[in-house]
């Protein structure tokens, strides 16, 4: 497995020239997070993850986490030591509130740190990601006492956090959960039930684990309306803040998974465990969505981050592996990077990675604007844009994570299929990301079911109009940008056609728009990615850096000419409706539909 090289120069260009970070850093609360300070911080973080976290990736995959006979979980060799250094360095606290010991940096900076950490070791990075989601929920809904008791050590990373949603009978249908929360005389609750697929549900890296658990109180309404959210700590906390006795939550087993072996995925049993209500009863879904929305953009970054690591490995292999003779080469043989199809696969990876990185960072800047822009109207509009971009980032990013890690393996041929090279680990590890935090089908349903109709469709159409402004920028940038502008214009028009169809059809035939939601989201992913690459190409030209300008122009041109045309081809699938999807029953799907002669 090749060494991970943090792409700090790519981050610096994206932040300064593509997503407008310098303007963000001028907003109230972010004045200390100027671009120079951020780049210096990211350089230090990149050095840390490359030297401390990345070396644990392969060992974590081979060894995996283990459930010990005493019911505790042991993480792979090196994880505890790396996590201690992570806590001591304060990397997890960078984007969190200063009030509780954080650095108060924008979420955008935290997202870059997350990409670095995930590229280094996805399995390791999942613990901090879930902790951040739990912190967000407490910040929004916890009372003062809960915040003061839990947040300071969660912000430092000394204590980790989890999300406990899923149960054996209730996967994505959270409303079917049955875990019970019975009030006790002291104001706490007794939590009883079983939760599955709990990432870092138990481990040996942090001294305390703070579980956020969804459960039902007595007499609660059926379905999602009757769900409440509780803090259930692994260890009860004494009045002086020290850790007390073990709470009544046990690890039943660890899941045996396709990938991310270093991350313990637990089945947890709550046996009358002491829990504390967060917010009001029956408001658990609101709290859950704070956790999940925080995590969804982060999961999209997982697709980008693992694909980046896989790309670096495939690029290094293509430069070292000599086989055959390229056309016009003097011989005796050529590095495989000299063959057109290998170049196609490398360019596909690099163009998609750049587009994804710009899009994820743009979404993150709007998250920061939605909280810190002094103009209420700007905050409200930023929140709308986040609502649109987040399901796109999560779904498009993780779908591409699957596709690009597979391409990276393909470049390495038979050696990629051999476990010892590490290429297969990237494919296995990233596969879960399209399932995490609401499957990608759920993201597509969210886009057409919730986000599309905001302000009668005006919100998403305004975003499309904003995207089309880049056409004028391209027209003024020179003739070498013409092919990019022309293709973008055509694809934006087709995307608008699909969007208008969705808006017309949704109210009368919701099944039709749900049937086309996944290809529709893919169209948005392809087009927003092209928009960002076009912005980057224009911005790079203005820097005066000839090499940078050439790279960004070629990437934008390659993407618009060879990848973006897929978008228009999806119009038929997006607008086909549901008739053919439901025309065959289960028996007909199992067979050819033709009877056997007798």
CB 342 within 8 A of CB 336: yes
> Is 419 known to be catalytic?
no
Cα-based angle 144, 145, 146 (whole degrees, multiple of 5): 95
Mean pLDDT for 277-290 is 90
CATH code of the region 55-89+121-282: 2.40.110.20
Annotated catalytic residue: which of 136, 437, 471, 487? 437
Distance CA 523, CA 518 (A): 9
- Report residue 370's pLDDT band, with 50, 70 and 90 as the boundaries: very high
Other Cβ atoms less than 10 A from the Cβ of 583: the count is 8
Q: Report residue 188 as tokens.
A: 């706490």
Of 210-224, 391-405, 559-573, which gets the smallest average pLDDT? Answer: 210-224
- Report residue 1's pLDDT band, with 50, 70 and 90 as the boundaries: low
Distance CA 354, CA 282 (A): 42
pLDDT computed for residue 172 by the predictor: 66
DSSP label at residue 387: H
Q: Where are the alpha helices (DSSP H) in 477-516?
A: 482-506, 510-515
Residue 191's DSSP bridge partners are 181, 273
Q: Which of 263, 240, 274 is nearest to 160 (CA)?
A: 263
pLDDT computed for residue 144 by the predictor: 95
- Report residue 325's pLDDT band, with 50, 70 and 90 as the boundaries: very high
Mean pLDDT for 511-531 is 98
* Backbone phi, psi, residue 28, to 5°: -55, 130
What tens digit of pLDDT does each residue of 562-577 get?
999 999 999 999 999 9
Mean pLDDT for 297-301 is 95
CB 460 within 8 A of CB 450: no
Other Cβ atoms less than 10 A from the Cβ of 28: the count is 8
Domain boundaries, the chain: 55-89+121-282, 442-580
User: Tokens 């009368």 sit at which residue?
Assistant: 508
- Report residue 598's pLDDT band, with 50, 70 and 90 as the boundaries: low
What tens digit of pLDDT does each residue of 221-279 get?
998 899 999 999 999 999 999 999 999 999 999 999 999 999 999 999 999 999 999 99
What tens digit of pLDDT does each residue of 62-94 get?
999 999 999 999 999 999 999 999 999 999 999
pLDDT computed for residue 289 by the predictor: 80
pLDDT computed for residue 331 by the predictor: 82
Residue 552's H or E segment, with its range, is helix 546-558
pLDDT computed for residue 161 by the predictor: 96
What tens digit of pLDDT does each residue of 126-152 get?
999 999 999 999 999 999 999 999 999
Mean pLDDT for 446-465 is 97
Distance CA 318, CA 47 (A): 25
Phi-psi region of 552 (alpha: psi -120 to 50; beta: other; left: phi over 0): alpha
- Report residue 593's pLDDT band, with 50, 70 and 90 as the boundaries: low
Phi-psi region of 55 (alpha: psi -120 to 50; beta: other; left: phi over 0): alpha
CB 360 within 8 A of CB 301: yes
């Amino acid at each position: 497995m090749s060494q991970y090289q943090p792409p700090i120069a790519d981050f610096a260009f994206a932040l300064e020239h593509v997503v407008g970070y310098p303007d963000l850093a001028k907003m109230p609360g972010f004045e200390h997070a100027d671009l120079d300070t951020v780049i210096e911080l990211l350089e230090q973080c990149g050095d840390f993850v490359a030297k401390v976290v990345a070396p644990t990736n392969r060992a974590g995959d081979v060894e995996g986490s283990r459930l010990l006979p005493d019911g505790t979980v042991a993480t792979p060799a090196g994880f505890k030591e790396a996590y201690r250094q992570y806590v001591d360095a304060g990397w997890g606290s960078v984007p969190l509130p200063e009030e509780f010991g954080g650095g108060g940096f924008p979420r955008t900076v935290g997202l870059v740190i997350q990409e670095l950490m995930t590229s280094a070791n996805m399995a390791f990075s999942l613990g901090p990601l879930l902790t951040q989601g739990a912190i967000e929920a407490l910040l929004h809904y916890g009372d003062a006492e809960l915040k003061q008791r839990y947040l300071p050590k969660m912000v430092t990373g000394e204590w980790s956090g989890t999300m406990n949603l899923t149960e054996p009978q209730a996967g994505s249908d959270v409303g079917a959960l049955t875990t019970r929360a019975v009030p006790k005389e002291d104001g706490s609750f007794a939590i009883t039930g079983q939760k599955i697929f709990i990432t870092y549900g138990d481990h040996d890296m942090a001294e305390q684990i703070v579980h956020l658990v969804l459960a039902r109180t007595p007499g609660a309404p059926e379905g999602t309306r009757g769900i409440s959210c509780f803090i259930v700590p692994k260890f009860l906390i004494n009045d002086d803040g020290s850790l007390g006795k073990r709470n009544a939550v046990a690890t039943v087993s660890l899941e045996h998974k396709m990938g991310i072996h270093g991350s313990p995925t637990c089945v947890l049993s709550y046996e009358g465990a002491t829990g504390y209500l967060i917010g009001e009863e029956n408001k658990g879904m609101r709290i859950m969505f704070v956790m999940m929305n925080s995590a969804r953009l982060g999961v999209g970054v997982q697709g980008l981050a693992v694909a980046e690591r896989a790309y670096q490995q495939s690029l290094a292999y293509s430069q070292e592996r000599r086989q055959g003779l390229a056309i016009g080469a003097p011989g005796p043989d050529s590095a495989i990077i000299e063959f057109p199809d290998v170049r196609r696969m490398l360019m596909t990876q690099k163009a998609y990675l750049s587009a994804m990185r710009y899009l994820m960072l743009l979404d993150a800047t709007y998250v920061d604007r939605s909280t810190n822009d002094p103009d209420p109207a700007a905050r409200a509009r930023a929140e709308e844009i986040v609502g649109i971009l987040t399901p796109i980032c999560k779904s498009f990013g993780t779908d591409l994570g699957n596709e690009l890690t597979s391409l990276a393996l393909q470049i390495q041929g038979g050696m990629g299929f051999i476990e010892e090279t590490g290429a297969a680990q990237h494919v296995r590890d990233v596969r879960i990301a399209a399932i995490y935090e609401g499957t990608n089908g759920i993201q597509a349903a969210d886009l057409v079911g919730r986000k599309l109709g905001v302000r009668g469709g005006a919100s998403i159409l305004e975003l499309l109009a904003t995207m089309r402004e880049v056409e004028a920028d391209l027209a003024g940038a020179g003739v070498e940008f013409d092919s990019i502008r022309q293709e973008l214009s055509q694809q934006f028009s087709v995307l608008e056609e699909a969007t208008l169809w969705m808006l017309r059809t949704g109210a009368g035939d919701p099944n039709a728009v749900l049937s086309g939601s996944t290809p529709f989201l893919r169209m948005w992913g392809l087009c927003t990615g092209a928009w960002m690459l076009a912005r980057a190409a224009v911005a790079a030209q203005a820097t005066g850096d000839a090499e940078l300008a050439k790279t960004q122009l070629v990437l934008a041109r390659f993407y618009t000419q060879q990848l973006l045309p897929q978008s228009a081809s999806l119009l038929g699938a997006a607008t086909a409706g549901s008739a053919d999807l439901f025309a065959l029953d289960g028996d007909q799907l199992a067979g050819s539909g033709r009877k056997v002669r007798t």
